[in-house]
Amino acid sequence: MSFLDGKSLEPREGVDSYLAVLDAQRLLFSSQQQLVLNQLAQLNSEIDLYRALGGGWHTASVAPAAASADPEA
């Protein structure tokens, strides 16, 4: 991606070249943003599937106090 590094922002061959760099960066950032949104949608879908198949979000319950009775009692 040497075309998109910081130094490539210096206009070397005029305004047309500079605009091409900016347009390429805009396309790159837009694609990266879409990738993140797609990954988020996939994770949300996996969570929905897990719930639909009967999975729960229950945390491990602590044993009741009666089960750990005091031996001196």
Distance between CA atoms of residues 8 and 24, nearest Å: 11
Q: How high is the pLDDT of residue 14? A: 76
pTM of the complete model: 0.54
Give the pLDDT confidence score for residue 55 in this predicted structure: 84
**Alpha-carbon distances, residue 4 vs 1, 7, 16, 43, 73 (angstroms):** 5, 8, 15, 30, 74
| Residue in the block written with tokens 């106090």 | 65
Q: What is the pLDDT of residue 46?
A: 94
Q: What is the DSSP code (8-state) at residue 7?
A: G
In this prediction, residue 8 carries a pLDDT of 58
The type of residue at 67 is: A
pLDDT (tens, 9 = 90+) of the chain, 73 residues, equals: 555 565 555 555 677 789 999 999 999 999 999 999 999 999 999 999 999 998 876 666 666 665 555 666 5
